[in-house]
């Protein structure tokens, strides 16, 4: 059980300030993998507890996204449509599988996976840029592996995989960036609640984890909404350039710790 102390809350506040600023700056309202990194690197929580706490945070963020973006999501991916089924079913199965696998893994392996993911996200931000919509789209069956991968990542390390799902839907499949974002959001929302539900079945989080998760969610959300008021494209570019080396360096550190 985590001891809720003043130093812990202050570290959590610092983590929330950073994550909230980054979340709003890069317009990643649901995927909160940065929080897992902060909970492990700054707050000092064990990786298993950090992932479980972030599962609660990402599930609440997903619910908030559904409420705030319901019209856009409904217009882009109507519930019950062919596209919706090709996204939600694989995301559900992936998150279920990922959470079960994570429950059997050693903490060092989970930390190594998080480190590798952080490095890849940093490289993705640096290299891959959004493209305009293509007239000819890839076959809808490609929704399945992308959504499955998103679900597995959500279950394994509570990382929704949006940094990769969005460019895959956009760059590889040819969908408009806004629709690609909506498609990826549906996958993350499905995966987040599936992974959280699976975790509750496997082992209920204790009350301290629930308190810390709600604490982080509220703080991150408030900071993100505040930053949104003065968000600009220039700010997004600056933040992207700043977080790329941080992600890569933190990822390397996690990998080295995991290897020891």
What local confidence, expressed as pLDDT, does residue 106 receive? 95
Q: What is the mean pLDDT of residues 222-228?
A: 89
Provide the mean pLDDT of the chain: 90
Tens of pLDDT, residues 48-71? 999 999 999 999 998 888 888 888
Query: Domain residues of the chain, as ranges?
Result: 27-259
107-130 confidence digits (pLDDT tens): 999 999 999 999 999 998 888 777
| 151 or 65, which is more confident | 151
DSSP state letter for 139: P
Would you say residue 25 has pLDDT above 90? no
Query: What is the pLDDT confidence band of residue 37, given thresholds at 50, 70 and 90?
Result: very high
Q: What is the pLDDT of residues 163-216, one digit of tens each?
A: 889 889 888 888 888 888 889 999 999 999 999 999 999 999 899 999 999 999
pLDDT score, position 231: 80
What per-residue confidence (pLDDT) applies to 31?
67
pLDDT reading at 141 higher than 90: no
- Residue 214: both structure tokens together: 């709600």
Q: How far is the C-alpha of 81 from the C-alpha of 186, rounded, in Å?
A: 12
Averaged over 5-19, what is the pLDDT? 93
Dump pLDDT digits (tens) for 71-84: 888 888 888 899 99
Please tell me the predicted confidence (pLDDT) of residue 221: 92
Please report which confidence band the pLDDT of residue 236 belongs to, taking 50, 70 and 90 as the band edges. confident
Residue 238 has pLDDT above 80, yes or no: yes
Q: Collect contacts of 137-141 with beta carbons under 8 A, ≥24 apart.
A: 137/173, 137/174, 137/175, 138/172, 138/173, 138/174, 140/82, 140/83, 140/86, 141/86
Give the confidence band of 29 by pLDDT, cuts at 50, 70, 90.
Answer: low
CB 236, CB 96: distance < 8 Å:
no
pLDDT of residue 30: 67
Q: Report the pLDDT averaged over residues 90-112.
A: 97
- Compute the distance between CA of residue 227 and CA of residue 55 in angstroms, rounded to an integer: 23
């Amino acid at each position: 059980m985590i001891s809720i102390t003043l130093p812990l809350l202050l570290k959590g506040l610092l983590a929330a300030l950073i994550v909230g600023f980054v979340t709003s700056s890069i317009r990643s309202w649901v995927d909160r993998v940065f929080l897992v990194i902060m909970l492990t690197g700054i707050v000092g929580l064990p990786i298993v507890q950090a992932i479980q706490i972030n599962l609660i945070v990402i599930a609440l963020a997903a619910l908030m996204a559904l409420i705030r973006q319901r019209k856009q999501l409904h217009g882009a991916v109507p519930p019950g449509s062919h596209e919706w089924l090709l996204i939600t079913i694989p995301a559900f199965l992936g998150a279920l599988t990922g959470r079960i696998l994570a429950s059997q893994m050693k903490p060092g392996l989970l930390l190594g996976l998080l480190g590798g993911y952080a490095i890849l996200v940093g490289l993705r931000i640096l290299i891959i840029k959004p493209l305009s919509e293509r007239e000819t789209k890839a076959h809808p069956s490609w929704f399945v592996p992308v959504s499955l991968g998103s679900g597995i990542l959500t279950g394994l390390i509570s990382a929704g995989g949006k940094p990769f799902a969005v460019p895959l839907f956009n760059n590889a499949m040819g969908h408009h960036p806004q629709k690609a974002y909506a498609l990826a959001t549906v996958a993350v929302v499905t995966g987040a609640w599936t992974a959280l539900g699976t975790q509750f079945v496997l082992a209920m989080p204790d009350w301290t984890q629930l308190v810390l998760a709600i604490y982080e969610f509220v703080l991150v959300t408030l900071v993100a909404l505040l930053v949104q008021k003065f968000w600009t494209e220039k700010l997004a570019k600056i933040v992207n350039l700043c977080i790329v080396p941080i992600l890569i360096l933190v990822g390397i550190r996690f990998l080295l710790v995991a290897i020891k």
